Amino acid sequence: RDALFEKFCKEHKELIKTLPIGNGWRVQHLYNYNGFWLDPLYIKSNLLLHTYFRSQSSDIFLASFMKSGTTWLKALMFSIINRHRYTISDHYLLQHGPQSTFPHIDSEFDRPTIDFSHFPPPRLFATHFSQTLLPPSMTSCKLVYVCRDPKDVLISKWHFMNQIRLKDRPPLSLDEAFELFCQGVSDFGPFWEHVLSYWRASLDSPDKVLFLKYEEVKKQPEVELRKLAAFMGQSFTTEENENGVVEEIVKLCSFENLSNLEVNKNGVNDFKVVEVENRLFFRKGEIGDWKNYLSEEMKERIDKITDEKFKGSGLIL
Ligand code: A3P
């Protein structure tokens, strides 16, 4: 098995050498792998996923482009599944935070021997890979996608990546981040192709892919939470609805509540590829913070790209 894995690692190194190179946000270079820009370590984990990961038909995946609301959705999905296990006042989330609730399969499946088979079903996993990069066994499972206004994603990602950028690299300017983002060159991007890959999957199989928008969850959290629970096969009962369980979960997972927890102020999560301070996942949690950063010209350029890319798809962000 070790010899096999070594051969695998060697092939990964050879593959990287053949791929187009772009400027990285955290590391120096991203590589274009089957149409998407990835950190080489994620290309390796993608190959591992395809070769070794065994999904179960009851698995539920949370997919997102970075900075679109992954942390929030992790908290909400975990709370839905485990609502009979914890009381709100003594909830797992309060001690451990959303990051440790379920694994990011892209970075945490970094060896063939990693085994998630002891997780009770339904197992939950998060991924940032585009739908087209997922192994077929994963695309036959239920999947929740959350997307967000690309302008807010860009600003959120620019802040975040500067915080986790390798120490020997000078800060990434907003102008450079903007230019790279528009060209599609950012981890897991292009943003638009990422969103479209899941949008199309949701049109093809609405029972398998639930397409959510950060802005909608923000505006009407109870409605979206009920939708999410029903999709996950865990609808709220009449009794739960009457007892305010939905409102309680929304409050538990709110930005205000989660960002003020000790674990999210001072804790660190090990994603294997990189260790990240939990506080970095909670910046502002607002719609439209891009207005404080982007010029009118920048706004128009991004909106124009969005219009052009999404034209005819039926998707409006
Ligand atoms: P901002 O940087 O705009 O504040 P991800 O979890 O995909 O990395 O996305 C992080 C973004 O979601 C950050 O956006 C963060 O503040 C916001 N966020 C985190 N938890 C949230 C919550 N409970 N409610 C709303 N937004 C949240």
Percentage of the chain beyond pLDDT 70 is 100
* 280 CA → ligand 1 middle, Å: 9
**Rounded Cα–Cα distance for residues 150 and 127 (Å):** 18
- Global ipTM: 0.99
For residues 317 and 288, the model is more confident at 288
d(Cα 161, Cα 145) in Å, to the nearest integer? 22
Could you tell me the sign of the dihedral formed by the alpha carbons of 65, 33, 25, 150, in that order? Answer: negative
Contact 122, 81 (CB under 8 A): yes
Per-residue pLDDT, 2: 82
CB distance 68 to ligand 1 below 6 Å: yes
Which pLDDT score is estimated for 271? 85
Q: Please work out whether the CB of residue 70 comes within 6 Å of at least one atom of ligand 1.
A: yes
What proportion of the chain, given as a percentage, has pLDDT over 90? 91
Residue 70: name the closest of 32, 31, 101 by CA.
101
Query: Which atom from ligand 1 is nearest to the alpha carbon of 74?
Result: 6
Q: Find the mean pLDDT for residues 241-253.
A: 97
Could you identify the atom of ligand 1 that is nearest to the CA of residue 289?
A: 3
Ligand 1 atom with the shortest distance to the CA of 218: 25
Q: What is the mean pLDDT of residues 15-28?
A: 97
Helix (H) or strand (E) holding 59: none
* Catalytic annotation, residues: 128
Nearest atom, ligand 1, residue 152 CA: 3
Q: Is the pLDDT of residue 217 over 70?
A: yes
Q: Is the pLDDT of residue 238 over 90?
A: yes
**Partners of 147 in the β-ladder:** 213
> Are the CB atoms for 188 and 124 separated by under 8 Å?
no
Query: Measured in angstroms, how far is the CA atom of residue 222 from the centroid of ligand 1?
Result: 18
Is the distance from the beta carbon of residue 269 to the nearest atom of ligand 1 less than 6 Å? no
Q: What predicted TM-score, i.e. pTM, was given to this entire model?
A: 0.97
Dihedral over Cα of 34, 169, 269, 98: its sign? negative
**Tell me, what's the pLDDT at 109?**
86
Ligand 1 site, residue 279, Cβ cutoff 6 A: no
Of 147, 156, 253, best ligand 1 pocket probe by most atoms within 8 Å of the beta carbon: 156
72 lines ligand 1 (CB under 6 A): yes
Report the separation in Å between the CA atom of 3 and the middle of ligand 1, taken as the mean of its atom positions.
42
Is the confidence at residue 1, as pLDDT, over 70? no
Bridge partners for 270 per DSSP:
275
pLDDT digits (tens, 9 = 90+) for 172-196: 999 999 999 999 999 999 999 999 9
Query: Which class for 191: exposed (0-12), middle (13-18), buried (19 or more C-beta within 10 A)?
Result: buried
Span 218-240, mean pLDDT?
Answer: 98
257-308 tens-digit pLDDT: 999 999 999 999 888 888 999 999 999 999 999 999 999 999 999 999 999 9
Distances (CA, A) of 152 to 5, 167, 288, 295: 40, 25, 6, 13
158: CA distance to ligand 1 center in Å? 13
Average pLDDT of the chain is 96
